[in-house]
Every structure is written in C-alpha cells, then in structure tokens.
Structure 1
Amino acid sequence: MDNTSSTGSEDMFGYREIHGYISTIVCSIGVMLNIVNYLAWTRQSASVSDTLLASLGVTDGLALLSYLIFNVYFYHVSGPYVSVYHSEAGMKMVIICFHAYIIFHMLSNFLTVALAVIRYFHVCRRCAKTEICKMKITRFIMVSGVLSVLLATLPFYFYYEVYDLADQSTNKTGFWIRKSNFADNHVHEYQVPILWVYGVVFKILPCALMIALSGYMVKSIREAKRKKDQMTTSSDISTTKKSSVEYNKTTLMLIIIVMIYVLSEIPIAISAFISGLQRAESHFFYFLLFSSVGEVMDLITILNATSNFFIYFTMCKKYRQNIKLLFQL
C-alpha cells in the first residue's frame, strides 16, 4: 500500500459507518465509569492493589478520553477519508490523540501487569508488608511505569507526519497523514524493530507473564480450598469462611481483569508480530488507524477499558461498599 495514495477508506465489513457512533457511546460511558472507579478506590485508606486499581481508572479514563477526542473529530466533525477536507491542525490533533492513546493504554497495561505480580506475591508467597513498605512499593511502581512508558513510546513520535495534499499533484485539497520520511528511509533500522518492540515486548510478553501468574494464583486458591475442606472443626470453618470467600473473590476478580486484558491484546500482538516477521516496509500502525479491522480492534480495547467497573461491582464487596459511601446510598 502506497502511503501517498492511500485513501484511508478501506471498509472491508461495512463497519466504519457505525464505528463512530458506537465508540463515542462506549468512550463517553467509559470515561464516566473510570472516574467512579478512581473515586471508589480512593474512598478509604488504600492498599497497594487499591492504589493501582485507582491509577488504572485514571489511565483507562485518559486513554478513552484521547480516543473520544480523536473519534469526535474524525467521525462526526469531519470524516475518516482523504476525500474529506482536513485542516493541518485537525490532522495534527489526530496524531497527538493517537500518541496519547498509546501512552495511556500502555500505562494501563503496565498497571495491569503490576497488579498481577502484586497479587501473585500476596496469594502465592503470602508477603506481608508494613504501611511504609507499601507506600514505597506503590511509589516505585508508579514512577517506574511512567518513566518506562514515556521512554518506550518515544520512537512512535517519528512514525507519522502531516502532509499537504495539494503538493502531491492531485485534485484534492487539505491535509492528510502518512508515514514520515524518517520511517520510509529506515525500514530495517526503525520500522521492523518498533514492530517487534510493540508486538513482543509490549503485548506478547506481558500476556504470557499474566497467564502464568494467573495460573499460579488459581492453583494456590485450589490448594487453599482443599486444605480448608480437610479441616475437621466446624467452628474453625465458620470463622474463616467469610474472609476466605471474599479473599478468593478479590483474587478471581483480578484474574478476570487480566484474562480480559489478554484476550483484547492478543489480536494486536499477533498482527504486530507477523508484520515484524515480514522484515519489510510495514503499514501496521497506518492500518490500525485507517482500516475497519483496526477500528474493530480499537473497539475491543475501549470495551476492555470500560468493563472494569462491572467486574469490580459484581465481584468485590469492598468496591460496592465504597460506591455506597461515595454516593451515600
């Protein structure tokens, strides 16, 4: 696909005409629900997991907000086609929202991995920490996450550029987006490595790690249940039953969050991995931004960023209590 000739009008499944409406509704609801998530998890004194869940609400909310701004301009104010006139400022805003979405989405991914690791040590290693130690762990995770993501996403800033359609000897006016000259001139030094980093380091490896950690946690829960079933004293069973059920529900809640994350990330991970294997000029990110398949992948991702509220509310008693306190129900 030639960058200069691409129209961005590929609509293999006829989905593009409704994507703008669906994603606007999902993002709008998701932003509000993630605000509720943040307020609920910060309602009382928070553990490391609570702080990370509150931070996940912030990053998911900002990712959805970035996509919402892009979506409103691209699907409602103008149109996702090169034939529609776009101003230079509008196209630059699209690129800015694209990069912001990647940053906040990767921060969400980092926090999800951190949650899985923290819960693994809590469930499988029975690590008990003081409040000071918890604060240090939380601060370390947050700072290292922000710095790592900002550094890791730096190469993406050189991928796109805005160009004037009138300079391309066409009858079209306005501006559009294409791969930068730097990307075109550095296929093997830039395009291929960035696909491997994006597909493997940011997608496949975290998915594999979280699947493994979730498996260990499920195994630990089953072993704990088996030991409790072997207890002979009914009074012992009754005193530990409530706390055990709630503890396991919290663990299962985080496992479900992890599994939904994995399922939503795998299609993009595989696509990026295959594109990297080709070791040739790639239009992967252009494909994500301008194709109906990319839009379907986007929809899966924003649904994932919106779904946490329903998981929390269904499976976490503490979250429901915080919601009641928050709204004074």
Structure 2
Amino acid sequence: MNLCVQYNYSGTPAYETLDLVQQSYTKVHPYLSLVICSFGIISNVVNILVLTKPSMRNSINCILTGVAVADMITMTSYIPFVYYYYLMDSEYSHTSLAWKTFMAVHMNLTLTSHTSSIWLGVIMAALRYFFVRPTSARGARTLDCRSTLVLIVLTYLGAALLLIPNCLATEIEPCFNNATGVVNWHLKQPTFGGSDSNMLHTITFFIYPVVGKIIPCTLISIFGGLLLHTLRETNRRSRRLKGGGDASKKKKNSSAGLANGGHNGGGGGGGGGSSQARRTTVMLLAIIALYIISELPQSILVLLCIFVEGFFQNVYGALGDFIDLLSLINSAINFITYTAMSTQFRETLTEMFSGCWKPLTRSCRSVNGNQNALQSTKYSKTPPAEV
C-alpha cells in the first residue's frame, strides 16, 4: 500500500530558493562545523572535568556528564566526515569501500550518541521535577551517583538497540564504472512507498523519529512544563513567605531593636540555598528548551520523508547541512549555558584552573629565581676592571 502523498518539487519557487540557499551555505558549512566541533569537544572535556569534581557529584551532574560524553562522540565522528566529504578533492576517497564503510559507521554511531543524549535529557528533566515538586519526602526521591551511572549505561544500550534496524538497513552497494574500469561504492538510498519501497527502510524511518525524536521531545516538553509550573509556584510561595517574614520582622524589631540580627542573617542563608535551587532549575529549563528547538523540527522532517513522496531526496537532503549544524550547536553550547547560569559551575571551574595555574606560576618563579642566582654568582666572580 502506498502511504505517500505525491508532490512535484521541480520548478517551484520554494524548491529553487532552497536549492540556491543550500548551494551557497555548502561552501561555508565545513569550516563553520569544524570550528563548532573543535570548540564543542574542548568545552565538553572541560564540562566532564568540572562535573566530576567531588563537590559537584550528584545525580543531575552525572547525567550532564553522560550528555557531554555523547555529544563528544557525535562531534568527534563529524570532524573526519566533514573533512573528507567536503574538503577532500579526490573523487576516489568519496567512492572507495573504506570511505563508504566509515560513512555507514559514522551515520549509525552519531545517531546512537545523539539519541542517547536526548533520552538523557528526558531523564534529567524527570529527576529534576521529582526533586523539586512539593512533597515531604524529598530525600527518598533522589538517586545516588552509582544508580545514576547504571541508568546512563542502560540509556546508551537502549539507544544502540533502537538503532539496530537502521544498521541493518544501511547497505553499501558496488557500481562498476565502464569508462574507468573502477568499482565505485555507494550507500543505498532509502525508498518509501510505491512499488520499489523497502519495508525495512519504512520500519526504520517510523521507529527512529517516533522513539528517538517525537516521544523524547514530548516527554521533555511535559517535564519542562511541569518544572516551569513548579518554579512559578515556588516563587509565588516565596513571595508570600517573604511578605509574612517582613511583617514579623518589623514587629520584632519594634520590641527588641537589633538583638536578632544574627538570626536574620541565618534566614538570608536559607534564602540563598533556595535561590541556588531556582537557578539550577532555570538552567535545566534552558537546556530542555535547546533540546526541543533542535530535535522537534528534525522529527517533523523525518516523518514527512515517509508520507510525502520524494521529500527525502529533494528537501531533506537539501536541509541536511542545516540539520547537522543545529545538532552540532546543541551539542557544543552546553558549556556556555552552564557558565552563564550556574554559579557553582563557574566557581568550580575557576578553582580548577587556578589550581592548575598556581603550580605553573610557582615553577616559573623558581626558574627565574635560579637564573637570577646564577647571574649574581657570575657577577660576583668577575674581576674588577683595570683602570
């Protein structure tokens, strides 16, 4: 049964504009993506170093570490791909069996790591909501780092199992070139609908966008909305309590003067902890929003590949560079988000680099001191000049 809607792309203004934009952007994409990947790999290494510090170890930061590892895998695999595919001039490198084998591995590896990343985002949003929602038994709802690590490993394994049909559907086929006598290798293009449809391709393109994109995007949106609602309710309660506290404080000050100043300071410390929790929740909401902005459009496009005939070849292929760019930005931007929105991350990062800088500074001072001592010894042994 043909499930596809037929549409004529050629000659339409929208298609011609898309093709023109794609051709122009292709010249910039390899250099831009290499810069983003280089920054993203370095920044994710820093994320891992900071988030695994003893003072930073908790369930949420363990998950963010797992996200950083998955994003590093995605960007590390993308660098050789973009170099060979866009910057290498040799046609043989594009059609050799070794190159196409790497392409097949790269496609499935990055899909697996990217799927792991978004499902870890779902788990992070769920854990944060269960932690901040207003109940009495908060301690019973937290996970220790060991349990969280098991959950991260299971997420990686689940993503790998999910992508097994996609691995099976990835085929490399030979094509003999009569003019040159060389066998060129190509990745078989997926087919949907019509008499030449491939059932495995259709199943793969149903499973991946639904389980790997739409369901996690829906869940992360739900938990993000619940987190936002809880944050607003918490702020509303804090304002009410603050108003009551101010009235009580005025009453006490009228009778006791400045005798209770130390207690007021303690209350401020408690408010600081609540403020830190709110900032953490806001930061996680920003990460959730980035996931949704990055993943939801891709989910819709992949589904259109199934239901609109020729969409994969004519539209999705033309948008491929932009889709890759969006995913790479999402993988590389977390360091900026953490630094901008987390005081604890900034403080730990500063302590880590200052700890590395002090021994280097001490070593440089020691070397300079030794050089000065040698020079003074040299000058002391020099005989006085004759008059």
TM-score strictly above 0.5: yes
What is aligned with 2:53? 43
Question: Which residue does the alignment assign to 1:268?
Answer: 298
- Cα pair 1:120 1:216 within 8 Å, conserved: yes
* 1:241 equivalent in structure 2: 271
Paired position in structure 2 for 1:256? 286
- Where does 1:299-310 land on structure 2 (aligned, <5 Å)? 299-310=325-336
Flag the 1:275–1:313 CA change in 2: closer, same or farther, 3 A: same
1:6-64 CA distance string (max 9 Å, x none): xxxx9541211211111111111111111111111001251111111111111111111
Contact 1:34 1:58 in 2 (8 A): yes
Structure 2 residue ranges without an equivalent (≥5): 1-17, 247-263, 356-387
Of 217, 223, 229 in structure 2, the residue corresponding to residue 213 of structure 1 is: 223
Q: Which residue of the partner structure matches residue 68 of structure 2? A: 57
- 2:36 is paired with a residue of what secondary structure? helix
Does the aligned pair in 2 maintain the 1:165–1:175 contact within 8 Å? Answer: yes
Distance 1:156 1:284, change over 3 A: farther
Distance 2:153 2:93 in 1: 42
RMSD: 3.0
Aligned counterpart for 2:77 among listed residues 57, 66, 69: 66
Alpha-carbon distance, 1:111 to partner: 1.0
Q: Provide the identity percentage.
A: 24
What's the offset of the Cα at 1:136?
Answer: 4.8
Pairwise CA distance, 1:76: 1.8
Offset of residue 283 of structure 1: 7.4
Aligned position for 2:28: 18
Aligned length: 313
Aligned to 1:3: none
Q: Shift of the alpha carbon at 1:239?
A: 3.5
Structure 2 residue aligned with 1:311: 337
For residues 210 and 262 of structure 1, the distance between their equivalents in structure 2, rounded to whole angstroms, comes to: 8
Tell me, yes or no, if structure 1 residue 120 matches structure 2 residue 129.
yes
Cα offset, 1:188, TM superposition = 5.8
Question: Kindly tell me: are residues 90 and 283 of structure 1, through their superposed partners in 2, closer, same or farther at Cα, counting changes over 3 Å?
Answer: farther
Q: 1:92 aligns with which of 88, 92, 101?
A: 101
Q: Quick check: 2:100–2:187 contact (8 Å CA) kept in 1?
A: no
Structure 1 residue aligned with 2:321: 295
For 1:164, the equivalent position in structure 2 comes to 174
Structure showing greater Rg:
2
Matched residue of 1:165: which SS? strand
Whole-Å separation in 1 of the counterparts to 2:267 and 2:202:
57
User: Structure 1 residues 180, 295: closer, same or farther in 2, change over 3 A?
Assistant: closer
Distance 1:318 1:172 in 2: 63
1:27 to 29, 37, 50: 37
Please give the per-residue CA displacement for 1:166-198, whole angstroms capped at 9, x wherever unaligned: 25x566955342327999998363222211211
Q: State the partner residue of 1:5.
A: none
Report the secondary structure of 2:87's partner residue. helix
| 1:137 correspondence with 2:147 | yes
The separation in 1 between residues aligned to 2:322 and 2:66, in whole angstroms, is 26
The 3 A distance-change label for structure 1 pair 199 and 118 is same
In the other structure, the counterpart of 1:178 is 187
Gaps of 5+ in 1: 1-9
Q: Secondary structure at the match of 2:172?
A: strand
**Equivalent pair of 2:191/2:198 in contact (CA under 8 Å):** no
What secondary structure is seen at the aligned counterpart in 2 of 1:166? strand
> Does the CA contact (< 8 Å) of 2:122 and 2:220 recur in 1?
yes
Give the TM-score of the pair, scaled to structure 1: 0.85
CA deviation string 1:231-255 (max 9, x = no partner): 2224386343211221111111111
TM-score by length of 2: 0.73
Determine helix, strand or coil for the equivalent of 1:187. Answer: coil
* 1:77 maps to which of 81, 85, 88: 88
Report the equivalent of 1:4: none
Secondary structure of 2:138's aligned partner: coil
Q: Please give the alpha-carbon distance, in whole angstroms, between the structure 1 residues aligned to 2:327 and 2:189.
A: 26
Whether the aligned pair in 1 keeps the contact of 2:173 and 2:188 (CA below 8 Å) is: no
Q: Any idea what the Cα deviations from partners look like across 1:239-289, whole Å, max 9, x if unmatched?
A: 4321122111111111110111111111210011222334x7x7749976x
Alpha-carbon separation, structure 2, partners of 1:140 and 1:285: 40
Q: Secondary structure at the match of 2:144?
A: helix
TM superposition shift of 1:158 = 2.3
Kept in 1, the 8 Å contact 2:74–2:109? The answer is: yes
CA distance, structure 2, for counterparts of residue 125 and residue 75 of structure 1:
52
The 10-residue stretch of structure 1 (137-146 or 291-300) with the greater mean CA deviation from structure 2: 137-146
Pair 69,183 (structure 1): closer, same or farther in 2 beyond 3 Å: farther
CA contact 1:183–1:190 (8 Å) conserved in 2: no
